[in-house]
Each structure stands twice: as structure tokens, then as C-alpha cells.
Chains A and B, each alone.
Chain A
Amino acid sequence: MKSYILATAVSILLALAVLRPVLAVDGEPYIHDPSTIIQCDGKYYVYGTGGGGLISDDGWTWHPGAVRPGGGVAPDVIHIGDRYYMSYARGGGGMSGGHASGVHVMWSKTLDPQSPDFGFKDDTIVASSDGVEDCDAIDPAFLLDPTDGRLWLSYGTYFGFIRLVELDPKTGKRVAANQPVNIAIDMEASALMYRDGWYYLLGTHGTCCDGANSTYNIRVARSRKVTGPYLDNMGIDAIRGGGKLVVGASGRFVGPGHFGLLDLGDGVQKFSCHYEADLDRSGRSVLDIRPLLWKDGWPVGGDNFPEGTYEIQSERSGFALELAVDFVRMAGRGMGGFGPPAGPGPGGFRPPAGPGPGGFRPPAGPVTPVPAQELSQVSANWPAGNIDIRIGDYMFRPHQKWTITPVANVGGYPGSPYFKIAIAGTDRALAATADGEVVAVPAYTGAPEQLWRIDQLTDGTYRIMPKSMPNSQEPVALTAVGASTPTLAKFDPKSDKARWNFRKP
């Protein structure tokens, strides 16, 4: 009995080791109402309600340590010139029963609390609500308009309107005589972004602050003008409650809210949010960073990469990444005409003339499944050492199926850990070589060249990059330099060469 219990426990532990849940970011990512994530001197910062925030070296593992004076709620931060402007709100939010609030803006030359240049200055109220009017001046969010350099700030919550005011990007103060514009209702945690001639107003609908029962979800409407009107996909104005869903609850994460754009360049966009409750972390509110996709001009919340076994398909050719080994024919040659002839005869390209296996005709006997080709049927003849990698017709064969698993304690990148990519059922791992090519090494060692960064691009395809090549820190991506040939090269966001799809095998 004891041995049975021990065996069961070992089995469960092994299963847990393999079937890890998809985590929101690692470390101590506990935060509520996160600001936009911002980089300063090589580190990532995010600020939340109550003062302070989180710092990360790589965007994957987060720890407390960011410093923000002023207290209050739901800050936002933006970098303009040599200043980091911080906005936050004090009062309002219905907390303590009131909606009288002030939106503050202050600035610092750095966000690094250890730097002698750190220190927020010129704390100024740029917008407010008197507690009676249909507005609650909290949850500020910046937009620096890339088309003309004007600086805007949205704010507000469910108590009335979401409003927009203009700030001076040189000072962070309100532009003189600027009047607030009402752009939405029934929303909070607003955010603005611009893309391809459209201004997007994102905001959170649903119920906040109720843990696992919060219905928070992020929605969007868009406008050709920053001042609106912002319409959703059904043409409903945000000022009438419109909003297309960007992301809602899923998996073990409840109540995503407080959208923040994290544009990493080269066609990689991500967004930050908090979950009202991460059910794998005691139902606490945590930070996450997820891919941001675009479909028909609308932002769509992507999912963190789920481990599993996949075909890795080239967007360039549609072929699949595979070991360069002999193709082994499998059972199930139905027609008989396309395989090597068994003996003399006309052979070639015609179905058999008489009765026979003939795949173009119904089976003569019972219908039976054709077993899939198994790894053990083909791997014995694979070379023992490194095996070249190529791209070939996908035939769901063992040399084309890759198991992708996150690797713990080796760092990561915004929103994700590094991954091991190995032929399913083996330890033959994809690895970068010193000369900028890719091979499958016979055994995974965890070396940096065997760790892979997988970023989903805005079109839904993926960029795959080694953590590093041996003796090089040059960032390179897996690239189909030929229709059937992969290599490592500088990522070209305009080309399909370095775009890949992960498909269930």
C-alpha cells in the first residue's frame, strides 16, 4: 500500500512538472490598476494603486521596488524627451463614498530609485471632478499622438463620463483654456492608442474588485479623431456604452483590466493588464503581459504561449520545420500507383487495372484505421550526433513534431519564459550554432543557444529567436532563407521569412 501511495505521489509530481499551468508573469507580480509598462535604463517598470510598483530586468520576472510618491490610485506613466511623466489620482473612485477627485501629473528624469537623478517634481492637478458632476476624475492614461506630437490624457470611471484633456508635452501641465471632452460612459481604466489612422479608446467594463467573481473585461472603440466619436464594431458610440471585447476571463485568470500597450517594435506588440484574480496565486490580483493581435483593424487579446506538441509551419512556404533525415514511408498506400512498383509492369501513374488495394475504390473488407507512424519506427536510423534542420512537406511524421516546454529559472522576456523546443518523445533539441544556423543537438543541456524566445506577432504568426547564439549577442530570428531552408538572421518585420505558425500536429 505504501509503495502504491509513493508511486501515485511520484506520478502526480511528474505530471505537475510536465503539465505546468500557463503562468501570468513570474516573481511577485502582485499589483492592482497597473500603469503602462515602461522601460528605463534597461529595466521595466510598472506602477499600481497605493504607491510603488514593480521592477523587472527582463519583463518576465517581477519584484516590488518601483517608487511613486503621492499614493492615490491607478497611475500611468509616459516617457517624453528626458522626462518620465507620472499621472495618478487622489480621491474619488467611490472609495469612502466620494467622487471628488484630482488627476495629478509630476515628472522625474529617471524611474530608477537608486539613481541620483530620481525624484518627482512639479506635482500638478491637471483635471478634477467635484463629486457632483457626471465624472469621477481617476484612472488617468496618456497618449502622445504620433501624428502631431500633442499630448492627451483620458480619465474617468463608471460614475459618468470618460473625459479627454490636452496637456503640454513640454511641461505635463494642462494646455491653457483646454476644455474636457466627453468620449465614453460606463467604462473605467481607459487607455488610448493610435494605429493606421485610427485612435483606439480601450477601457474596462464589468465589475471590479470582487476577486474571483469580478467580471472586469477590456473593450475597445475607435475614431478617426482623438476627440471622438469612438464607435465599436457595431457602430455603437462609446458614449452610449459601446465597446468591442478585447479580452475577458480565461483559463485560471479572472477579470482582466487596465490595458496598457507595450510596443516592442518589429511588429511585436503586447499589452499589460491585471487580473482581478489569478486562481493559481490565491486569487490575488496580478500583472500579466500578453500578445496583442490585430484583426480587421481591431485589437484582439492574444494568449500566452501554451506548451504542447506542434508542427512549426513556415509562413513563407507553408512547409514544416523538420529533422533532415530520410523520409520513411508508412503503411496505408492505398492506390498502389504512386509508390515504388513491387515488380515489373507498367507502374507509374495509373490505378491498378484489376482488383487490388486501390485507394480510389471502397475497401473490399472492413474499414480499418491506418496507424500513425511512431517515433520508434523511424528514429533508430537517425544520426547519433547533431542533425541538420530543414523545412519540408508536413506529413505529421515523428521528425516533424516538436514539443515545446517553458524552462524555469533561466529568465525570459516581456510576458514569457524561454522555451525548450525538442522533437516529441526525444531530447533532441533545437539549437543555434555559432555560424548562425540551426541544428538538433542529441541531448538538451539548457545552454542559451537551446533556449528560445517565442513572440506572437500582431498578425497571429510567431517570431522564434534563440536566447543567444554561441559567442554572439546579436539578436537573430529563425528565418526561412529558402522555401525549404532555415537559418538565423536579423528579423525582418516586413517579410514572411521569419514568421511561423504553431499548429496542433
Chain B
Amino acid sequence: MNMLRKVVMLAMGVLAVWAFQVFPAAPGSAAPAAAPDDVPRSLAPYFTPATSSPKAPDADGFLQRWLLLDPIKKPNRTNAVFTDTYVRDALNTEYFPNQFSVIPHDGDKVTVAGEELAWHALDSATFNVKVFRFAYGLNKPTYGVVFWAVTVVNSPREIPNARMAVGSNAASMWWLNGKEAVDLFTDRRMVMDDCVSKRLTLNKGRNVIRGAVINGPGLSDFCLRFIDENGDPIKDLTVNLADAGK
């Protein structure tokens, strides 16, 4: 290989790296607005359908199996409005019947403001549940929305002094077994263990987690795990949505 060819190849390599950085192809950072409308969308690679077998948390204790409802429209052109009072009002609003008690099944439907929305039982490929990608993949609104999420965790033992640790983009509220556990107010970035509940008890057997994430513009996601009294993740849990509603 002569010197000129080496230089040209090196320059092309540098350009390729530069181009990759400026126009990333990774699915996690692709700009949705750039996708032509006629390109089929899907939940891949962010989500797969939940299976019927129990799913353990990931190695760090994050719950990755959730029932997600199609986004509810809640127009907000900025996240600056997400004060405690606003978020509490917005997420305590009943958008559909039995919103705070129902344990849905995959494919169940509810009607919100005349629009039919479906529940989807999904496994997240990542520790954080990318609800923006969920909405985008289903050709649903991605900005100015509320995402509802439900999961059912089985614990092999009663665990006192546990804490629910949540990160979300943007604001969110979370309930454990019907009781408010963690609130994340203001315009938030998704940081693991951002807001943590007070000490609570995970029941032996079934525990129902319900949450709602509100977002104006921008990406939206959340992550949730339980930590013990030493701050270590609780990992001997399972999630099985197949019989969640039973």
C-alpha cells in the first residue's frame, strides 16, 4: 500500500467516524422528525411483547416488564409548568374508569375523551422504559402526553424498610398497592434513583405498582427499582403479567 492510499483511507476513516457522530444511526438517538412518514414504525428494538413466563428484574434490580397504555393527550408545550400542584392535579385526574384500581390485560381498551386507547404488555430492552419510543413506535402522540404504567411484582417474602426508587422524564407519580409512594415534580431528567420513597413494606406475594409520567416536549422515559434498607437493589422479585389481573 503506497503512502497516498494510506492517507486517503485514513481520511475516509476519519470522515466516517465524524459522519457517524454527527448523523448517528443508533436507534436510541435517531431524530424522529427526520423519519419519513411512510417508513413503518415498530416498537423494536426498545420493546418486545411480554412472555407468559415470570421475568426477574435486571442485574441492577430494575423492573422491565410493564403494561403501558397508549398515551393520553395532555397538551403542554413546555415542561416549565410541572409544579407540584400542577402535576398532582394532572395525575390524580381520572381519565378512564377504575384508573387507580384496574389491573389490565394486554389488549384491553379504555376510552379517554372519546378516543380508544389500548394496553400493551411489554418487556423493555433497557433498564429505562422508553415511553417516548413506545408512543413513537405505535404512531401515537409523543409530546404533550400522559403515560400510564402498571405492573405486578411478586415478592417471595415480606420486605420491610424497602424503598421504591424512580427516575423519570419528565414529572411522574407512583403508587404501591394503592398508596402514593414517590412523586417526581418539576421538569426532570431521567436519573436512576432520582426520587426515593419513604420506607415501605413490600408484601409477600403480589404488589401492584401504578405510575403516570407526564411530558411536554422532548424524550420521555422512566426507570424503577426497589432498594433495601442498605440502599442495595432488591432483585429476588418476579413480574408475571399473564395472570396479573386474576
Chain A interface residues toward B at CB < 8 A: 324-327, 329, 338-341, 347-349, 390, 392-393, 435-437, 481-485, 487, 497
Contacts and interface: CB of A to CB of B under 8 A. Distances in A.
Contact of A487 (B77, B184, B193, B198): B198
A482 B194 contact: yes
B195 A484 contact: yes
Nearest to A392: B186
Nearest to B167: A483
Interface string B68-97: 000000000110110111000000000000
A326 B86 CA distance: 9
Interface string B184-200: 10100001011110110
Contacts of B78: 338-341, 347-348
A347 B79 CA distance: 12
Listed residue (B78, B81, B186, B191) with the most chain A CB atoms within 10 angstroms of its CB: B78
B205 interface: no
Given A348-B77, A348-B78, A483 B217 contact: no
A349 B198 contact: no
Contacts of A483: 191, 193-195
Interface in B182-223: 184, 186, 191, 193-196, 198-199, 217
Contacts of A339: 78, 80
B195 A347 contact: no
B27 interface: no
22 contacts: A324-B84, A326-B83, A326-B84, A326-B85, A327-B83, A339-B78, A340-B77, A347-B78, A348-B77, A392-B186, A393-B186, A435-B198, A436-B199, A437-B198, A481-B163, A481-B227, A481-B231, A482-B193, A482-B194, A483-B191, A483-B195, A485-B195
A373 to B, nearest CB: 15
A327 B217 contact: no
Contacts of B198: 435, 437, 487
Listed residue (A326, A339, A393) with the most chain B CB atoms within 10 angstroms of its CB: A326
Contacts of B77: 340-341, 347-348
B165 interface: yes
Nearest to A344: B77
Interface in B120-175: 163, 165
Contacts of B81: 340
B233 to A, nearest CB: 13
Contact of A329 (B80, B191, B193): B80
B226 to A, nearest CB: 12
Listed residue (A481, A482, A484) with the most chain B CB atoms within 10 angstroms of its CB: A482
Contacts, number: 55
- Interface of B, secondary structure class, is loop
A340 B187 CA distance: 13
A393 B84 CA distance: 14
A307 B101 CA distance: 50
B222 to A, nearest CB: 14
B31 to A, nearest CB: 14
A478 B184 CA distance: 20
Contacts of B231: 481, 497
Nearest to A349: B217
Nearest to A480: B196
Given A341-B77, A392-B186, A482 B165 contact: yes
B80 A338 contact: yes
| Chain A to chain B: the 3 pairs with minimum beta-carbon distance, closest first | A482-B196, A485-B196, A326-B83
Contacts of B84: 324-327
B197 to A, nearest CB: 8
Contacts of B163: 481
A386 to B, nearest CB: 13
A483 to B, nearest CB: 5
Contact of B196 (A349, A436, A481): A481
A487 B217 CA distance: 32
A393 to B, nearest CB: 8
A150 to B, nearest CB: 38
A338 B78 CA distance: 7
Contacts of A349: 217
Nearest to A393: B186
A339 B82 CA distance: 12
Contacts of B217: 348-349
Nearest to A436: B199
Given A340-B78, A340-B81, 14 more contacts: A324-B84, A326-B84, A339-B78, A341-B77, A348-B217, A392-B186, A481-B163, A481-B196, A482-B165, A482-B194, A483-B194, A484-B194, A485-B194, A485-B195
Nearest to A390: B195
A324 B83 CA distance: 10
Contacts of B83: 326-327
Contacts of A435: 198-199
Contacts of B196: 481-482, 485, 487
A202 to B, nearest CB: 38
A340 B80 contact: yes
B171 to A, nearest CB: 11
Nearest to B85: A326
A338 B231 CA distance: 36
Nearest to B88: A326
B161 to A, nearest CB: 9
Contacts of A325: 84
B128 to A, nearest CB: 15
A247 to B, nearest CB: 37
Contacts of A347: 77-78
Nearest to B197: A485
Contacts of B85: 326
B195 A482 contact: yes
A393 B184 CA distance: 13
Contacts of A348: 77-78, 217
Contacts of B186: 327, 392-393
A393 B191 CA distance: 13
A106 to B, nearest CB: 46
Listed residue (A324, A327, A341, A484) with the most chain B CB atoms within 10 angstroms of its CB: A484
B201 to A, nearest CB: 12
A339 B217 CA distance: 13
Contacts of B193: 482-483
Nearest to B87: A326
Contacts of B227: 481
B134 to A, nearest CB: 22
A11 B7 CA distance: 81
